[in-house]
Structure 1
Amino acid sequence: MGALVRRSSTQYVMVLVLAGTLAIGGVRPALAEQLPTLGGAGGGLLSSQQEAAIAEHVMRSLRKTMPVLRDPLLEDYLSSVVYNLVPHVQLNNRDLTLVILDDPAINAFAVPGGIIGVNAGLFLHAETEQQFVSVMAHELAHLSQRHFARRMEQQERAAPMALAGMVAGIILSAVTRSDIGLAAIAGSQALAIQNMLQYSRLNEQEADRVGLEIMAKAGYDPDAMPRMFGQMLRRARLQGDRPPEYLSTHPLTESRVSDTQNRAAQYPKGSRGDSLEYHLMRARALVKYAQSASDAVKTFEEQLEKPGSEKNAALRYGLAIALQADNRAEEAIGILQGLLEDHPGHISLVVTLASAELTLDKFEQAADRLEQALRRSPGNVPLQSKLAEVRMAQNRPEAAARLYEKLTRNDPQNSQIWQRLADAQVESRNIVEVHRARAEYELLMSNPERAEMHLREAINRAQGNLQVQEALRNRLQEVLARIDQSGER
């Protein structure tokens, strides 16, 4: 059990326990049919309710103990990639929760109940968008094939509810790098579950095959998957006893790379080329994990000096971000304005330019820029998030609160937005809404008793507003019911 929970400091998300069913049509080369499909209608021991409970526990623990990266641009990009793929994967639950962890290692994960995420390091190591997508397609394939649930069926001697509880405990321990979930695990049964968490060669082959098919149907180049695998295998050789974390639960061999390459060759190359957006997001990650901002500036400047690179938008964008991080926002603004002339209205460029203007207290310019962009793209999350920041800087907390309220409706699982909404309501002196927002934040952070306290205080403060009091009382009843069911009190 200890080996599973504490293999390394970054292996906390490699418990890829998976849910869903698959029925993919479309391109099916003969070679793909030679590998038997392990999926189907099974996986009955892990019910959808149990999957949802596991996902909720894991997500709350992630929020509370792990460095979740809240970058609206990166989150928006990940969402767009996943939802380009999801229509080609038939899942029981398409209500997915996406998360990015602040870690430079290669990793991706999927958890029962629809949690899918990556380490930000995947942007560093996937040199092309096609390679990045290949990892996500592989994870969705594991999820859709219900590999974990099928392995549970092999453990027929275990009671389903007890087994699901132990699974949740192991996931929590592995994901959070702590003993938070160990109390849920019975020692004599932990080994059986540990074995289930390790994918078999057939599981991996099936996920490769189905992932390739997902990529082909979505219009991406399936050949990117063996290229990405080969790149990881080369890195594993260079690192000796410390291979990329992604390979710890996804064993990779030359024969598997070769097999995937042969299968990929049976598909068309795909109509989707790399998007500019991916390379902009990769530049953001490269700056974030550079040794210093000045090092990042130097790296991008050297790249731009190479013949033919002076017009490379991603390199120019990376330099602008690095300059801003190096307290040279005025220089960054000049580069970003030039990029927007080449790519009018590009949302990531607009948000980044507004961020640089905000750094220099150019509040009106930033606000006007963001408002114009929102008229073109109503409801865009990165634009709304940045505009809310600007409104707070302008000492307009009521306007910021309205934006944050919209964002909470769009993403009620985002604890950071609830926290910022509470801050805006404090500045607005709207005490009832301060407590309401703080209650939702505490609930997401696994503090239901604090959530209950804030809701009761909000009810007391809302004297005379019967409609608001009724809504708060209904929410309080939901919180109390959850506490009673889960024993969180």
Structure 2
Amino acid sequence: MRHASPYRKKTRKYITRVLHFSASLLFGLATAFPLQAADTDLPSLGGVGGGLISEQQEAAIGRQVMQSLRRSTQQIEDPLVVDYLGSMVYRLVPYAPLQNRDLSLVVIDSPEINAFAVPGGIIGVNGGLFLNANTEQQFASVLAHELAHLSQRHFARRLEQQQTSTPMTIAGMLAGIILSAVTKSDVGIAAIAGTQALAIQNMLQYSRSNEQEADRVGIDIMADAGLDPHGMPEMFEIMMRQNRLQGGQPPEYLSTHPLTQSRVSDSRSRANQYPVKKNGDELEYHLVRARLQVHYAQSAEQAAESLQAMLDSNTSGTPDAAIRYGVAVANLEAGKIEAAQSIIEALLRENPGRITYQVTLADVLTKRKQYDQAIELMSKALSRNPRNYPITYALATAHYEAGNGRQAAELFGQLTQRFPSYVNLWLNLSDAEGLARDIVGVHRARAEYDILMGDLEAAGRQLREALNKVPPGTPVREIVTQRLTQVTKALEQQRQQ
């Protein structure tokens, strides 16, 4: 893991990047060809037809936003973090008034507070949201709020209100949103000054009525999901406090979600209409939060010292098990593998069935090159928890490190079928296929990676290389041929724009 933030770039580089994004986003709005790595279309949320943004355009926007995020931002791919976010979102989703509940999630690798929802069913959060939300209820309140924006189509409707907007204006605006996800919002707005910056700035900011509606719907979602709605005003207080500490320079989130004291009061009044939930946070939230605290620390050693001091003082309100786990993760990152293993094994004795502990122990064993033990541990865990993402990933990694290319490729292949939009899985599959000496498999996996990154020319080259190596008359040749035809068609359409 890295411990230094990668977001201290010059504004000039961002301007160049945004212009590139604008072109790619314009293409996404102009074509409905949904070429993604074995992926299904992203959902569009809202009514049929009418207005500037149709359902098909919303889906195209979503695909292009995801593509641009992949190309422009560092993302957190830690399976335990990604899996937790997914579990929390889909705990809330059944109670959100969404027409289509097939969402795409992304975790941006930034310590700033931010979260966003854009047309096409995309929910994104910064890693910094975990750092600043002290409780699971507070964290969930931001997700519920974003789901509310998405369900009410606030963003799409604001686009529709701009009757004079052109596709390029929309593209430039969305590029600014992407930029705002990785830096300060004012930089994102400045970078798109050439695309009606004032109109875009207005549209980046949700209206007061939009925010109030999202607060109301979000609180209802939380309550119905069995979470404590009081987490929302608590999270608002944290944001306002950070705003004051930063001398009036608001966190990223407040740049697009204006927050006033009256909103805090209104959310608290509405939350008070529900009884306080006696069941507290799940431990899993605090375990994931501890992983990210280590990730964003100046060094693993510093993280271990800080967490140990927190444990000794016993005043943080964080469960001791989560703090101990954080110390173990920090020790693992610092190369103190035996110390990490001792803590994890102790935690497992206290809570033998917890998947996070088991996966982390497998990571420890893999780093100690005790591959057989790691494989046995994860194989047993997978038999008890079929299809679990972190377990499958850890098992595949252990097989790969042990030199078992075929087993690793099979497992990574299963994951790409279930999570076809995760670019890291395609790279891992490509490496595993290489270890297994399946050159056709390498080219096919690399092609899917290139498609997700928007490089259709590279994808075509990979598929042609695969085709040259596949015997005639085989099922694999037919599959590769069909995929190459799709890529070629999409590339032709792109060149005509």
Q: Tell me, in whole angstroms, the C-alpha distance in 2 between the residues paired with 1:43 and 1:248.
A: 29
CA distance in 1, matches of 2:58, 2:68: 15
Query: Alpha-carbon deviations, 1:79-127, whole Å to 9, x = none?
Result: 0000001111122332211111111111111121011111111111000
Q: Deviations over 1:381-408 (max 9, x none)?
A: 1111111111111111010000000010
Instruction: Report the Cα distance in structure 2 between the residues aligned to 1:310 and 1:185, rounded to whole angstroms.
Output: 42
Q: 1:83 to 1:43 in 2, by over 3 A?
A: farther
Aligned equivalents of 2:154, 2:363: Cα separation in 1: 43
* Structure 1 residues 19 and 410: CA distance shift in structure 2, 3 A: closer
1:311 shift after superposition:
8.1
Once the two structures are TM-superposed, the CA of residue 171 in structure 1 deviates from its matched residue by 4.0
TM-score of the superposition, structure 1-length normalised?
0.87
Q: 258, 262, 276: which is aligned to 2:269?
A: 262
1: CA distance, partners of 2:310 / 2:274: 34
Identity %: 51
Q: Distance in 2 between matches of 1:363 and 1:134?
A: 41
Give yes or no for the alignment of 1:391 onto 2:367: no
1:57 aligned residue (64, 69, 74): 64
Q: Find out whether 1:253 has 2:260 as its counterpart.
A: yes
Return 240-249 or 334-343, whichever deviates more.
240-249
Deviation at 1:177, TM superposition (A): 6.8
SS at match of 2:256: coil
CA distance in 2, matches of 1:375, 1:156: 55
Compute the displacement of 1:429 (Å).
Answer: 1.1
What SS class does the counterpart of residue 163 from structure 2 fall into? coil
1: distance between equivalents of 2:175 and 2:307? 44
Quickly say closer, same or farther: Cα 1:240–1:175, change in 2 above 3 A.
closer
CA RMSD across the alignment: 2.9
* Helix, strand or coil at the partner of 2:161: coil
Question: 1:463 offset after TM fit, Å?
Answer: 1.9
CA contact (8 A) 1:110 1:143 kept: yes
Query: Structure 1 CA distance, aligned partners of 2:239 and 2:68?
Result: 29
- One of 320, 323, 328 as aligned partner of 2:328: 320
- State the distance in 2 between where 1:402 and 1:305 align: 45
CA deviations over 1:118-163 (Å, ceiling 9, x no partner):
111111100000000001111111111111222233223446x566
Q: In the superposition, relative to structure 1, how do residues 275 and 177 fare at CA in structure 2: closer, same or farther (>3 Å)? A: closer
Q: Are the counterparts in 1 of residues 396 and 409 from structure 2 also a CA contact under 8 Å?
A: yes
| Aligned counterparts, 1:13-24, within 5 A | 20-21=45-46
Counterpart in the other structure of 2:145: 138
1:274 maps to a residue whose letter is D
* Contact 2:168–2:195, Cα closer than 8 Å, also in 1: no
Separation in 1, partners of 2:215, 2:308? 38
Quote the Cα distance in structure 2 between the aligned partners of 1:424 and 1:488.
37
Q: Name the CA distance, whole Å, in 2 between partners of 1:311 and 1:449.
A: 51
Cα distance in 1 for partners of 2:12, 2:97 equals 33
Q: Specify the alignment match of 2:339 in structure 1.
A: 331
- Of the three residues 235, 238, 242, the one matched with 1:235 is 242
Question: How many angstroms apart in 2 are the aligned matches of 1:403 and 1:410?
Answer: 11
Which one-letter code corresponds to 1:340 in the other structure? Answer: L
Shift of residue 481 of structure 1?
2.3
CA distance in 2, matches of 1:326, 1:469: 47
Q: Are 1:426 and 2:450 matched, yes or no?
A: no
1:463 partner SS: coil
Contact 1:388 1:401 in 2 (8 A): yes
TM superposition shift of 1:246: 1.1
Query: CA–CA distance in 1 between the matches of 2:202 and 2:85?
Result: 31
Deviation at 1:259, TM superposition (A): 1.3
Partner Cα distance (1:414, 1:205) in 2: 34
Rate the CA distance shift 1:192–1:222 in 2: closer, same or farther, 3 A: same
Q: Report the equivalent of 1:33.
A: none
What's 1:469 paired with? 477
Aligned to 2:371: 363
Aligned residue for 1:248, secondary structure, equals: helix
Q: Rate the CA distance shift 1:57–1:311 in 2: closer, same or farther, 3 A.
A: closer
- TM-score calculated relative to the size of structure 2: 0.85
Distance 1:258 1:461 in 2: 66
Task: Report the counterpart of residue 359 of structure 2 in structure 1.
Answer: 351
Partner of 1:112: 119
**Distance change >3 Å, CA 327–CA 7, structure 1 → 2:** same
- Flag structure 1 segments of 5+ consecutive residues without an equivalent: 13-17, 22-39
Query: Could you tell me how far apart the structure 2 residues matched to 1:199 and 1:470 are?
Result: 49
CA contact (8 A) 1:166 1:190 kept: no
* 1:375 matches 2:383: yes
The structural deviation recorded for 1:431 is: 1.0
| 8 Å contact kept, 1:220–1:271 | no
| Amino acid in the other structure paired with 2:454 | S
Structure 2: give runs of 5+ residues left out of the alignment.
1-9, 19-42
Task: State the 1:341 CA deviation.
Answer: 1.1
Contact 2:440/2:469 (8 A) holds in 1: yes
Pairwise CA distance, 1:444: 1.0
Relative to structure 1, the CA distance from residue 407 to residue 295 in structure 2 (aligned partners, 3 Å threshold; closer, same or farther) is same
Task: Report the AA paired with residue 45 of structure 2.
Answer: G
Local SS of the residue matching 1:305: helix
1:61 to partner: Cα distance: 1.4
Q: C-alpha distance in 1, partners of 2:169/2:276?
A: 43
